[in-house]
Structure 1
Amino acid sequence: MLKRKISDYLESYFTPNRREALLITGARQVGKSYAIREFGKSHYSSFIEINLLEDSIARTSISKASNSKDLLLRITAIASQPLIKGKTLIFFDEVQVVPEIVTAIKFLVEEGSYQYVLSGSLLGIGLKRISSMPVGYLTVKEMYPLNLEEFYRACGISDNIFSVLEEAFKAEREIDSIIHRKLMELFRLYLIVGGMPAVVQTYLDTNDIKKVVNKQREILSMYVEDISQYDINNKLYIKDIFNLIPAELNNPNKRFILKNLNENTKFSRLENSFIWIREAGVAIGVYNIEEPKLPLELAKLRNLFKLFSNDVGLLACQYADGIQLRILNNDIDINYGSIYENAVAEELYSHGLKLYYFNSKKQGELDFVIKLDDKILPIEVKSGKNYLRHNALKNVIENKDYEIEKAYVLYNENIKRVGNIVYLPIYLMMFIKNREIENLIWKIDLSSLPQ
């Protein structure tokens, strides 16, 4: 069984007195249903799962409920086991099919007999059709494919190794060469296997790359099917955008070029299609910014962006046959740039970081710009030997208007620092995340005021 971070989140979320439901969103095949099912079965006396896509009787019955009391009665009739007050978790899966259940969850939570978890795919779009979001009664949590740490753990990397890596990252100290070499081998494996749970499990069970690729092709076919099913009006454009992601990332600047999609179409006509594919969870959008200065959101240019795949393994699968073996062999003739950057994009995105890039005729281009602990952090990704060539990084660091204290270069070699630039083995990107905020208790003393 794959150990996922979402399992720890579920345990901390569902305390006995919790009066709030949880909605887990994310693309298909990232492991939402499996994680919830395993948690529910191991932590509750009664676990009720209702799949609104596969169970047409349940779907019809729930959609016709007139109020919360009626809905609970219908759930009782549908359930395959008894509902035990205070000891039952009810799981509504594929809620995008009956989005009204998200509104109704407020009344179920208020009733208080049971706890609730919801899940579904393409919810970024589906939630917009909901008339009333139950604020205060529902937490939304996005789930992703396995990130690099989860993949390493699945492959057998121990807690001790992670402790060594984290200490080296914080101290900017070299990692033992044997550990470094093995982790780079595993990173190259991650580039072709990716983080889709079914794909990772296929690799762990068989070590057969051909079977891995076949499983990835199945998932890609499911994504295309989703496009056809959930956006009738724009499905052709969305399908073309999805299929163009590998080719666009292979361009020198990796920016999505509209004319490659349609020579005569303006961005305003296609914007909703780009938003759809991003909010469906199958792509990660990275916008260009005018300057690497806070606040980054106000500096973004919405018509200049890169689109990365939500899973680097799926991206590798979309490239030409045979690339998997060449990656494993560390073939120096391959341009790894797009695949490396995709791995970094999805890793940082899974850490909850908003991603941008910077491109200026005068100063050059930075692969990523993020806000980390309230400071600007530029990141360059280098897959080859010319890792010391980064004029753009030098230019923005020297620009006093930007107040940049440090930058990272993610590359294949060991840790070192040169001035303001820290060179990190690319697998250490797993530690680039905001510091967790500790509880801040602040009480104002009003005793000096007259009563």
Structure 2
Amino acid sequence: MEIERDIIKAFKAWKEENGRKPILLKGARQIGKTWAMETFGRECFKYCAKFDFDRQPELKSVFQISKSPQRILKELALYTDVPIIAGKTLIIFDEIQECEEALNSLKYFYEDAPEYHVIAAGSLLGVAVRRRSMTVPVGKVRIMRMYPITFREFLRASDRKTYDFVDDLQGIQHLPEIIFNKLKTEYRRYLVCGGMPEAVISLLGNQGMATVENVLQDILELYELDFAKYAESKDIPRIHALWHSLPAQLAKENRKFVYKVVKPGARSKDYEDALMWLEDAGMIYRIFNITKPGLPLSAYEDISAFKVYACDCGLLRRLAHLPAQVMLDYNANYTEFKGSMAENAILQSLMPMLNGDIPHYWSPDSRAEIEFVLQHEADIIPLEVKAENCVSGRSLSVYNERFHPRLRIRFSFLNLQYNEGLLSCPSPLADWSFKFMDKLQQELR
């Protein structure tokens, strides 16, 4: 089966743009970038010519000889069985981080051959740019970010009727019980498999949990092979230690990242490069604390206090060796980690909607913490995340008393409702939360 990905719509809109720039598609390994580009090529073009710089290293010589797009295309025609025709052929440069000259050529395709449709992708592009001092042709490419399959995309494939009902919601009101129960069931299944396409297809194809677990484990092992292949030798053991400390970091009641959890006596200066490597690879998100919710949020960052989350909740569960059946057992004794999984899944929903921005969190002391704080238009909105139906705790009340936000949001497994500035949003509807925010902001103006 195939999963309908929202990024295909973005590709289609780009195809019709005036002044179109080549796309530079970024994202972690195994999230489906190549599949998305090829699917777009099949659906919207007569021909699709793909050039993979990892599998075809001989392609590099084509870009070392000339900077002229016309000359480059004549050479590339020798490596493909399909014609390269402006407007009819989608040109794909895959694993472009393996060839700096190909990355730089995107500038000349924009300036000298804009009639051609070019999409380039690189799973570890961020790592390569930092390690090799490569330059991205800023202003000459359209950077798009791709993420693991969202719950929105998962639900569309698993239960189209429920998806259509939710997607057509016009107001903020209680969901019918039958819809709400289906949402919660599908969301728990999503938390188990995460958003890696192969794992999702295995789950929805009823191939059994053993297959899902094997798929996730294979991806984790591939990631670790990347440590050895692409990281500096001195950083490999540190990257490995940081990555494997993630479940322990998130299992703490206070989820602030602590270096001594990685290794006794560990210091920030020894591990900063390793953290940045994992960020550049798209494997983690680093969320910084803010001293107060002021505009812009970046001006109030406390760079010494941050939390680290995984790019995918399914990979996090597998990394933690947490069995699927435990996550589905309401009485299971993993209270702290249940909260961590809930937070990671909400962040995973937020990231595709934030256009590359990263939210913050607010924790002035050990007695209060708001999991995520984000700027939406001119408003700063606190987002509290609760696992299941437990919504006790004073953190959101403390924040409200101090800063009086126009809108605050609590994610939990309670039904959808809005009351006096507080939007109670079911966690499965996090992918639609910006739609609710926009509606409420218009009403509050």
- Same fold judged by TM-score > 0.5? yes
Q: Does 1:351 align with 2:353?
A: yes
- Find the counterpart in structure 1 of residue 443 from structure 2: none
1:410 is paired with a residue whose SS is strand
Aligned partners of 2:326 and 2:264: how far apart in 1?
A: 35
By how many angstroms is 1:309 displaced? 0.7
> 2:329, 2:271 → 1: CA distance?
40
> In the alignment, does 2:94 pair up with 1:93?
yes
Matched ranges for 1:113-262 at <5 A: 114-128=116-130, 129=132, 132-158=135-161, 160-164=164-168, 166-167=169-170, 170-171=171-172, 173-233=173-233, 234-262=235-263
- The answer as to 2:342 corresponding to 1:340 is yes
Moved over 6 A (4+): none
Write the letter of the residue equivalent to 1:374.
A
Indicate how the Cα distance of structure 1 residues 123 and 77 shifts in structure 2: closer, same or farther if over 3 A, else same: same
> Who is 2:441 aligned against?
none
Q: How does 1:316-335 map to 2 (within 5 A)?
A: 316-321=317-322, 323-335=323-335
Output the amino acid matched with 1:123. L
CA distance in 2, matches of 1:378, 1:16: 36
Cα distance change, pair 104–85 in 1 and its aligned pair in 2 (3 A) = same
CA displacement, residues 404-449 of structure 1 (integer Å, 9 cap, x when unaligned) = 122111111212445433322111211222778xxxxxxxxxxxxx
Distance 1:190 1:331 in 2: 19
Aligned-pair CA distance for 1:26: 0.3
- Higher helix residue share: 2
Greater shift after overlay, 232-241 or 66-75? 66-75
SS at match of 1:397: helix
Q: Larger radius of gyration, structure 1 or 2?
A: 1
Instruction: Return 72-81 or 370-379, whichever deviates more.
Output: 72-81
CA contact (8 A) 1:103 1:134 kept: yes
Q: State the 1:182 CA deviation.
A: 1.2
Q: Say if 2:415 and 2:424, in contact at 8 Å, map to a contact too.
A: yes
> 2:97 touches 2:103 (CA, 8 Å); kept in 1?
no
CA contact (8 A) 2:425 2:433 kept: no
Change (3 A) 1:111 1:373: closer
Identity among equivalent positions (%) equals 26
SS at match of 2:98: coil
SS of the equivalent of 1:96 reads: helix
Quote how far apart the aligned CAs of 1:283 are: 0.7
Instruction: List aligned pairs for 1:368-387, cutoff 5 A.
Output: 368-387=372-391
Cα distance change, pair 74–331 in 1 and its aligned pair in 2 (3 A): farther
Question: TM-score normalized by structure 2?
Answer: 0.90
2:397 maps to which residue? 394
Q: Read off the aligned partner of 1:197 and give its amino acid letter.
A: P
Unaligned runs of 5+ in 1: 437-451
Equivalent pairs counted in the alignment come to 428
Contact 2:246/2:308 (<8 A) preserved: yes
| Letter in structure 2 aligned against 1:357 | Y
Whether the 8 Å contact between 1:10 and 1:39 is mirrored in structure 2 is: yes
* Partner AA of 1:269 in structure 2: D
**Distance in 2 of aligned mates of 1:393 and 1:274:** 30
